């Protein structure tokens, strides 16, 4: 489906923004330069008749994004958590996108559930409500299981959502290609790789079997996390286009006045949502990657309850350590160490000046400390970070896209509870605990134990490997491509394996 025909989709996007009155709102919120605003408006005004009308009852930006489709809605959901970037007024408008979109009919949902689970609805559920929440991908119904009487939430995909999302993503692919062609400097950010990554994430979200599995894994990881909850899944009542979870009572996280009226500590909630995210990312390497207010509830006991597990993030242990060391360096104001970690991980090309990079990192970090969050312009901070990364040739790392995006969203949620929260002070205990457990002596012992286990698996094969290598050699002094004899490599490998195993045993006895 990708190709030049998607130009029409991009033209309609601009026309829709202009026709709904969203264009000036968006340009103002993003602080676009005056000359750029003039050019964009001049291009879009003559073709606004091509744009979609949307729902006139909605505010301009929300009206435009809902008319344009699910991928645009996802973008709007992200921006709704960042009033410091888009302004309070626009952020308030975009909150409608989180769980208050127009639903599809109950009859359509019933037909989808029956087709997916292969039984009439009355055999599955004794009660099945009208839609109670509708988002960009699916909507939720409150139901009661016929056999057990348990109250549950049934999530059903929107009809035709796969095709609708495919059109949006195709247009994004074209946009990324055009950006790379017109702006060679942007290629280091890998816009096409970013869209490929986004497309993969979306495809996973459109299969509710994957989400059911993610919810079960996330619940198992967080079962002992005090003040945090995940509803249990019902496997027998879940499939590709429908899934069933326990029903949970609570106040939606975007209704801050109601949360305060219920007597919950808003400052504590702000710190907890941030610390929980960091714990999941660093401790488990598996985190909820769509933690906006529409996917969170505050339970009667004050627990933060997570919902909607269509987008989950996973990072390997090495990346977690790098990420933690960077955060820890910022917290301690050790900008030299932050720079070293970037170089050690290969995030910055080795031919760049590490002292200059450390100086640039200091200019990013210092303004954060000693002030509350309400005085920090995240838009300016992100703009300066972009300039720094461009100067030092850093490339976008697609494996960190979800982590970076979710950190922005979670910070926005924390600020909605406590506008004066200091994200670094809230993060410090979690990061320090992870560093102590994962970068110190205990971590070294665990790494060596893992190495020993790997070597032990190869142990029975070492004699045969050595014999095969010796047979392949035509002479004692011939070796691999670099001329180094293979038999010597095997000797050094065996010596290293023995030394590592002996060291581990010594440490365990000590």
Q: How far apart are CA 165 and CA 162, in angstroms?
A: 5
The verdict on residue 109 lying in a domain is no
416 and 464 both lie in a single domain? no
Of 35, 67, 97, the residue that ends a domain is 97
pLDDT class of 4 with cuts at 50, 70, 90: low
430 and 300 both lie in a single domain? yes
The verdict on residue 179 lying in a domain is no
Residue 459 has pLDDT above 70, yes or no: no
User: Does residue 290 have an active-site annotation?
Assistant: yes
Q: Which of 99, 170, 225, 290 is catalytic?
A: 290
Angle of the 266-279 helix axis to the 401-417 helix axis, nearest 10? 170
pLDDT (average), residues 248-275: 94
The verdict on residue 23 lying in a domain is yes
The verdict on residue 484 lying in a domain is yes
267 and 333 both lie in a single domain? yes
Cβ atoms of 141 and 129 within 8 Å: the answer is yes
Of 75, 97, 119, the residue that ends a domain is 97
pLDDT digits (tens, 9 = 90+) for 152-165: 999 999 988 888 78
12 and 70 both lie in a single domain? yes
418 and 291 both lie in a single domain? yes
Residue 472 has pLDDT above 90, yes or no: no
- From the list 282, 265, 223, 289, the residue with the least C-alpha distance to 428 is 282
Q: In what order do the strands lie in the sheet with 138-145?
A: 125-134, 138-145, 151-157, 242-246
Which residue range(s) make up the domain with 503? Answer: 441-509
DSSP 149: -
430 and 475 both lie in a single domain? no
For position 502, what pLDDT does the model report?
Answer: 54
Of 421, 438, 455, the residue that ends a domain is 438
454 and 434 both lie in a single domain? no
Instruction: Give the chain's mean pLDDT.
Output: 80
The verdict on residue 89 lying in a domain is yes
Tokens 């702000």 locate to 270
The verdict on residue 203 lying in a domain is no
Q: Which residue has the higher pLDDT, 89 or 66?
A: 66
pLDDT class of 379 with cuts at 50, 70, 90: very low
For position 481, what pLDDT does the model report?
Answer: 47
The verdict on residue 311 lying in a domain is yes
Three-state SS at 239: coil
The verdict on residue 195 lying in a domain is no
pLDDT class of 192 with cuts at 50, 70, 90: confident
434 and 453 both lie in a single domain? no
For position 307, what pLDDT does the model report?
Answer: 92
Q: How far apart are CA 78 and CA 76, in angstroms?
A: 5
| Domain total of the chain | 3
333 and 398 both lie in a single domain? yes
487 and 476 both lie in a single domain? yes
Q: What is the 3-state secondary structure (H, E, C) of 57-113?
A: CCCHHHHHHHHHCHHHHHHHHHHCCCHHHHCHHHHHHHCHHHHECCCCCHHHHHHHH
24 and 11 both lie in a single domain? yes
pLDDT class of 118 with cuts at 50, 70, 90: very high
Q: How far apart are CA 382 and CA 251, in angstroms?
A: 32
Cβ atoms of 46 and 6 within 8 Å: the answer is no
434 and 459 both lie in a single domain? no
**Which residues 6+ apart lie within 8 Å of 489 measured at CB?**
479, 480
Cβ atoms of 116 and 242 within 8 Å: the answer is yes
């Amino acid at each position: 489906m990708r190709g030049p025909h998607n130009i029409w989709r991009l033209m309609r996007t601009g026309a829709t923004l202009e026709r709904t009155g969203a264009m000036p709102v968006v340009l103002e919120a993003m602080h676009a330069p005056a000359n750029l605003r003039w050019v964009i408006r001049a291009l879009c005004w003559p073709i606004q008749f091509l744009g979609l009308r949307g729902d006139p009852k909605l505010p301009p930006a929300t009206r435009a994004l809902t008319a344009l489709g699910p991928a645009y809605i996802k973008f709007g959901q992200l921006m709704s958590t960042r009033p410091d970037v888009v302004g309070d007024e626009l952020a308030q408008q975009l909150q409608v996108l989180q769980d208050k979109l127009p639903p599809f009919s109950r009859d359509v949902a019933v037909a989808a559930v029956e087709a997916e689970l292969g039984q009439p609805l009355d055999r599955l559920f004794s009660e099945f409500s009208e839609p109670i929440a509708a988002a960009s991908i699916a909507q939720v119904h409150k139901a009661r299981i016929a056999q057990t009487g348990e109250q549950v939430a049934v999530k059903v995909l929107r009809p035709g959502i796969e095709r609708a999302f495919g059109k949006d993503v195709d247009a994004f692919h074209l946009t990324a290609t055009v950006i790379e062609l017109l702006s060679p400097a942007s290629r280091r950010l890998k816009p096409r790789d970013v869209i490929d990554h986004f497309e993969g994430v979306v495809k996973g979200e459109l299969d509710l079997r994957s989400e059911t599995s993610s919810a079960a894994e996330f619940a198992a990881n967080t079962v002992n996390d005090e003040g945090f909850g995940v509803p249990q899944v019902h496997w027998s009542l879940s499939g590709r286009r429908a899934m069933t979870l326990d029903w949970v009572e609570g106040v939606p996280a975007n209704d801050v006045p109601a949360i305060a009226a219920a007597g919950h500590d808003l400052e504590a909630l702000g710190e907890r949502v941030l610390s929980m995210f960091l714990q999941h990312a660093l401790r488990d390497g598996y985190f909820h990657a769509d933690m906006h207010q529409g996917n969170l509830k505050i339970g009667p006991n004050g627990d933060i309850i997570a919902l909607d597990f269509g987008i989950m993030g996973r990072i390997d242990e090495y990346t977690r350590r790098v990420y933690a060391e960077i955060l820890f360096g910022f917290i301690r104001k050790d900008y030299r160490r932050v720079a070293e970690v970037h170089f050690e991980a290969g995030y910055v090309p080795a031919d760049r000046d590490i002292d200059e990079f450390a100086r640039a990192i200091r200019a990013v970090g210092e303004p954060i400390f000693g002030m509350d969050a309400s005085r920090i312009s995240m838009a300016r901070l992100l703009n300066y970070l972009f300039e720094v990364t461009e100067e030092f040739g850093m490339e976008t790392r697609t494996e960190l896209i979800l982590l970076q995006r979710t950190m922005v969203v979670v910070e926005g949620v924390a600020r909605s509870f406590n506008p004066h929260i200091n994200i670094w002070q809230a993060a410090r205990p979690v990061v320090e605990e992870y560093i102590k457990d994962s970068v110190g002596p205990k971590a070294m012992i665990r790494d060596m134990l893992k190495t020993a286990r790997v070597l032990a698996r190869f142990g029975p094969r070492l004699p045969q490997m050595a014999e095969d290598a010796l047979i392949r050699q035509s002479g004692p002094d011939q070796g691999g491509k670099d001329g180094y004899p293979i038999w010597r490599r095997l000797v050094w490998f065996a010596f290293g394996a023995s030394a590592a195993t002996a060291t581990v045993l010594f440490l365990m006895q000590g």
